[in-house]
Chains A and B, each alone.
Chain A
Amino acid sequence: MRQSSELETTFFVTAVAVSARLGHVLKEAKNISLEAMNAKALVARAGENVRTFKPITDYMVELANDTIRLVADIDQEALRISKASLIALRGNEAVNHFNTAKVKAQKALYRDSFEPALQDAEKDLHLFQQNLLRNIRRLNELLEEIENRMLAANVVTSTSRLEAATVSPLYRANFEAIVEKFENAAKTIRAIVRECRKVLNVR
């Protein structure tokens, strides 16, 4: 477990950085959605010959929509983390100021009079840090959810390849191209999400 005192120090930057990276995920998710639409159109045109592709395209659409929704949730969570970490940072600074005053006031007659203020500041800080930890955990969960979906996308890609190999040569190249784009988008998303999780865990 990382030290609580260091948690808040740069998290307001980290959260924003994660949010910025996810802009690319959104772009790729929209690409998946577009490819899924293309695949659907192709399935409709090819008819009975490629009916096994229908559930795959449905899944692609679902995956894209879920990813877009998750990115929106992550954006909200990143904003909450950014705010929570700034509050925690200010709380930490307050505690530091009071502790410095305590050292400087060692010989002062009324040095104990600000002890309640210090204790309140410490209590506040603990609460701020707990909130921040909760927000970070939630962000990690959301990122994990996207990553899991992209792992599932791998399975779908393999199935799709097999299916593409069996369809009429007339449509095969088109389906293979769709599968490849889908695979690439999923790979890119996974790489970005992994990077985001790494950034969060390095802290």
Chain B
Amino acid sequence: MQTIKLFEGPFHEWIVFGRDSEKIDKIVDTNQYLVKTNREAILLDPGGIELFSSMLAAVVHFLPVEQITHLFASHQDPDIISSLGLWDKTLPTATLHAPWIWEGFLRHYGCNNITYNPIADEGGTLKVDGIELEFIPAHYMHASGNFGVYDPQAKILFSGDVGGGLNSHEDPMFVQDFDQHIKQIKTFHQRWMPSEKAKEAWIKRVRKLDIDLMCPQHGAIYKGKDIDRFLDWLEDLEVGTALRSS
């Protein structure tokens, strides 16, 4: 499992975990993010059950596990949070922040100890040891209840599936050649994102944010100008294509 420190501020850090070379071939590669202060931490989209041991082994390089007081799930997919039952055993006093509509569904993964904090449709904020994080609505991008996480201090947007692609674990962690990169993510966005209206609302919302890094849950991370390029490209892209061809 590769780990890269994305941001180091006076009070907190962002770390990405991904490109797990030991993962089973046929499961999709995913990025997991840890936002940590000196006393607390939140894991964003902690990953699937198959990844749990690698993730647990990776995070204990950075902090004692009890320091993770919060988990966040952008939506309900198994690659996002099917490890919940095991995190529930590891972090029984933690709080899971996830879309309210998925509570009854996510509990199928096992949530006996962890507290479920349902995020309202309009989003909200969370303070992790003084660091304020914003839950940015991304409904229907792709799931019907979906959020990103924005950190105004670090200027990082965790964008969930938006900007992601079905990458190989050998692909680079950052976008290197944007034109080449979009070829890899085009089909993913056309097929997974169902609604033009949702896409436009999301772009409008995200354009208002000051972002240095846009971090998807799959694929490569966007830096600087590639973020605007991506938003322009997505704006022109027709999504929900399966609906049109069926």
Contact = CB atoms under 8 A, between A and B. Distances in A.
B65 interface: yes
Contact of A110 (B53, B60, B89, B110): B60
Nearest to B56: A101
B60 A98 contact: no
Interface in B38-70: 49, 52-54, 56-58, 60-66
A121 B53 CA distance: 14
A110 B64 contact: yes
- Residue among A98, A102, A104, A120 having the largest count of chain B Cβ atoms under 10 Å: A104
A86 to B, nearest CB: 12
Contacts, number: 58
Nearest to B51: A97
B61 A104 contact: no
A201 interface: no
Given A98-B53, A101-B56, A108 B86 contact: no
Contact of B90 (A90, A109, A117): A117
A113 B53 contact: no
B85 interface: yes
Contact of A121 (B57, B60, B64, B89): B89
B66 A105 contact: no
Contacts of B110: 90
Interface residues of B, number: 19
B53 A97 contact: yes
Of the four ranges (under 10, 10 to 19, 20 to 34, 35 or more), the interface on chain A belongs to: 20 to 34
Contact of B89 (A94, A103, A109): A94
Contacts of B57: 100-105, 108, 111
Contacts of B86: 94, 97-98
A67 B186 CA distance: 65
A108 B60 contact: yes
A114 B56 contact: yes
Contacts of A105: 56-58, 60-61
- Residue among B54, B56, B62, B86 having the largest count of chain A Cβ atoms under 10 Å: B56
A172 B65 CA distance: 81
Contacts of A107: 61
A113 B66 contact: yes
A137 B132 CA distance: 56
A104 B54 contact: yes
Interface string A76-112: 0000000000000010001001101111110111110
B89 A117 contact: yes
A98 B87 CA distance: 11
Nearest to A107: B61
B211 to A, nearest CB: 31
A110 B34 CA distance: 15
A110 B61 contact: yes
B90 A114 contact: yes
B64 A100 contact: no
Contact of A117 (B49, B65, B85): B65
- Residue among A97, A103, A107, A110 having the largest count of chain B Cβ atoms under 10 Å: A97
Given A105-B61, A107-B61, 16 more contacts: A90-B110, A97-B56, A98-B53, A101-B56, A101-B57, A103-B57, A104-B54, A110-B60, A110-B65, A111-B57, A113-B64, A114-B56, A114-B60, A117-B65, A117-B89, A121-B89
Interface of B: 49, 52-54, 56-58, 60-66, 85-86, 89-90, 110
5 contacts: A90-B85, A90-B110, A97-B56, A105-B61, A117-B90
